[in-house]
């Protein structure tokens, strides 16, 4: 057992940290307030290789491992969770299905511009009536008589980066009578006719990460943009979510780390009754619990990342590890940011400090890519075999 990182992993972590502290921290509050998508810094992240860390070099990526990705994402999310969300969707939800199941032509067309930061990718699974019940979808894809294209109709909701995405991984029903086995995966070019972006969602947190509904109105998707085979979509979606949950765990660790570090510094500086508030037992209890949960969350996240890296060689499934990491890290982030606001008192509640932003941003990590309730259900089912 070795807890040391390789030189390459340390290099990407330090590069991400330097960029995040220099370029993202100064603008994070402004973009949170305005809700504007931070396109300039996202393009810079692409130039640094952060938008395609695990993608192979032949597709424009950095060709690094999952631990490198987790380390970099933690640093970006510590500076701003919105940037971390955009980075996570590009690297995991958007890219993994293509990497595992796409053709060479699809990878060259749809991975390279996203990995290089020249385009934004999105993942379209949820619908207005189907969130946790992902198989209950209504978006239809009907193959043309000559087999050259699919006509797609319907609406997807809660699409991260939807307002700005050039490409979308879409899950749609091709066989309505087959249930989950009738779902297929398509690569969508949003510049083609029939793709409609809905209004941006006014969110509690990660406000600079744009989210919207998208609608398909007789959208004609070329048949060569079908990923894998008809009916394989639900399996692709679920396997991609396993990988994505590691990214959300890393994001949660980053948010929690920012809140913890701010609190640790504050309790040493803030004076009450003639001494630092860190001298008081109640504050010490909070700091101890925050630190312990942060370390545990990071270790669970790193273990899940390691399991994903070794899965191809061992054949061992890492879904339970990803769920546990996501569940624990997201709940730890919510606990830690809550305690950080409490420690800072009135200043923690004020927008003059970033604590209230960390608090708002942490909440989403318990919801997207599977709620905490869904994580518990999946973990229990995997452990017991009971359905």
CATH number of the domain that residue 352 is part of: 1.20.140.10
- Where a domain ends, among 92, 115, 138? 115
From residue 332, how far is each of 3, 165, 221, 327 by CA, in Å? 21, 31, 42, 9
Structural contact between residues 154 and 172, judged by C-beta atoms closer than 8 angstroms: yes
Identify which of 333, 343, 229 has the alpha carbon closest to the alpha carbon of residue 276: 343
Same-domain pairing of 58 and 157: no
Half-sphere exposure of 224 (CA within 13 A, CB side): 7
Residue 157 lies in a domain: yes
Q: Are 67 and 78 in contact (CB under 8 A)?
A: no
Whether residue 1 is contained in a domain is answered as: no
Provide the token pair at 76.
């970006």
Same domain as 282, residue 315: yes
Is residue 95 within 8 A of residue 55, CB to CB? The reply is yes
Q: Quick one: pLDDT at residue 131?
A: 82
Domain boundary residue, one of 206, 230, 254 = 230
Same domain, 241 and 379: yes
Domain of residue 314 covers 234-384
Could you tell me the CA-to-CA distances from 139 to 4, 106, 133, 154, 155 in Å, in that order?
46, 22, 14, 4, 6
Inter-CA distances, 370 with 60, 204, 322, Å? 29, 18, 11
Q: 203 with 251, same domain?
A: no
Per-residue burial over 335-345, b = 16 or more CB atoms within 10 Å of its CB, e = otherwise: bbbbbbbebbe
What is the chain's alpha carbon radius of gyration, rounded to the nearest angstrom? 21
Same domain, yes or no: 298 and 202: no
Note down pLDDT in tens along the chain; length 387 residues.
789 999 999 999 999 999 999 999 999 999 999 999 999 999 999 999 999 999 999 999 999 999 999 999 999 999 999 999 999 999 999 999 999 999 999 999 999 999 988 999 999 999 999 888 888 999 999 999 999 999 999 999 999 999 999 999 999 999 999 999 999 999 999 999 999 999 999 999 999 999 999 999 999 999 999 999 999 999 999 999 999 999 999 999 999 999 999 999 999 999 999 999 999 999 999 999 999 999 999 999 999 999 999 987 888 899 999 999 999 999 999 999 999 999 999 999 999 999 999 999 999 999 999 999 999 999 999 999 998
36 shares its domain with 178: no
The CA-CA-CA angle for residues 223, 139, 165, to 5°, reads 70
230 counts as catalytic: no
Q: Which of 215, 369, 373, 383 is catalytic?
A: 369
> Please, where are the H alpha helices in the chain?
7-19, 25-34, 39-47, 66-79, 81-88, 95-101, 104-110, 112-115, 233-269, 281-314, 319-344, 346-349, 355-364, 372-384
The reply to whether 341 falls in a domain is yes
Q: List CB contacts of 313: < 8 A, sequence separation 6 or more.
A: none
* 33 is a domain residue: yes
Angle between helices 233-269 and 355-364 (to 10 degrees): 160
Q: Do 169 and 28 reside in the same domain of the chain?
A: no
Beta carbons within 10 angstroms of residue 244's beta carbon? 23
Same domain, 173 and 263: no
Residue 264 phi, psi (nearest 5) = -60, -40
The Cα 302–Cα 289 span in angstroms is: 20
For residues 13 and 75, the answer to whether their CB atoms sit within 8 Å is yes
Give a yes or no: residue 2 inside a domain: no
Whether 142 is covered by a domain: the verdict is: yes
- Examine the domain organization and report whether 90 and 49 are in the same domain: yes
Same domain, 133 and 170: yes
Judgement on whether residues 255 and 205 belong to the same structural domain of the protein: no
Residue 27: count other Cβ atoms within 10 Å of its Cβ: 17
The whole model's pTM is what? Answer: 0.97
Q: Is 319 helix (H, G, I), strand (E, B) or coil?
A: helix
Q: Is residue 89 part of a domain?
A: yes
Q: Comparing C-alpha atoms, which of 373, 308, 323 is closest to residue 91? A: 308
The residue among 203, 230, 257 that closes a domain is 230
Tally of domains within the chain: 3
Looking at the fold, whether 242 and 375 belong to one and the same domain comes out as: yes
Residue 49, number of CB atoms within 10 A of its CB: 23
Instruction: Check which CATH number belongs to the domain holding 94 and give it.
Output: 1.10.540.10
Q: Indicate whether 368 belongs to any domain.
A: yes
């Amino acid at each position: 057992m070795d807890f040391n990182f390789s030189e390459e992993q340390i290099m990407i972590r330090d590069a991400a940290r330097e960029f995040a502290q220099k370029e993202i921290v100064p603008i994070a509050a402004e973009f949170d307030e305005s809700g504007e998508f931070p396109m300039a810094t996202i393009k810079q992240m692409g130039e640094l290789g952060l938008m395609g860390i695990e993608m192979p070099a032949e597709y424009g990526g950095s060709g690094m491992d999952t631990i490198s990705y987790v380390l970099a994402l933690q640093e970006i999310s510590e500076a701003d969770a919105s940037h971390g969300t955009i980075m996570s969707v590009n690297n995991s939800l958007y890219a993994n299905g293509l990497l595992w199941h796409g053709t060479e032509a699809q990878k060259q067309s749809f991975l390279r511009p996203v990995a290089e930061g020249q385009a934004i990718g999105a993942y379209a699974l949820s619908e207005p009536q189907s969130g946790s019940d992902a198989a209950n979808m209504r978006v239809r894809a009907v193959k043309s008589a000559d087999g050259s294209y699919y006509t797609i109709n319907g609406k997807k909701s809660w699409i991260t980066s939807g307002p700005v995405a050039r490409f979308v991984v879409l899950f749609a029903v091709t066989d309505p009578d087959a249930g989950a086995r009738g779902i297929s995966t398509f690569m969508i070019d949003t510049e083609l006719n029939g793709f409609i972006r809905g209004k941006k969602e006014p969110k509690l947190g990660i406000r600079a990460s744009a989210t919207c509904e998208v609608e398909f109105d007789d959208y004609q998707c070329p048949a060569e943009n079908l990923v894998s085979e008809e009916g394989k979509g639900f399996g692709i979606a679920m396997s991609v979510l396993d990988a994505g949950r590691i990214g959300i765990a890393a994001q949660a660790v980053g948010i929690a780390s920012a809140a913890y570090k701010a609190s640790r510094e504050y309790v040493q500086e803030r004076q009450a009754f003639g001494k630092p508030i860190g001298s008081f037992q109640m504050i010490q209890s909070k700091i101890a619990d925050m630190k312990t949960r942060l370390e545990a969350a990071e270790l669970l996240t790193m273990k899940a990342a390691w399991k994903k890296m070794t899965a191809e060689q061992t054949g061992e499934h890492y879904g339970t590890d990803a769920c546990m990491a996501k569940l624990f890290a997201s709940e730890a982030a919510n606990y830690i940011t809550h305690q950080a606001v409490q420690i800072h008192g009135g200043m923690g509640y004020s927008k003059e400090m970033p604590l209230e932003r960390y608090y708002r941003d942490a909440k989403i990590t318990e919801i997207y890519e599977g709620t905490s309730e869904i994580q518990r259900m999946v973990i229990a089912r995997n452990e017991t075999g009971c359905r």
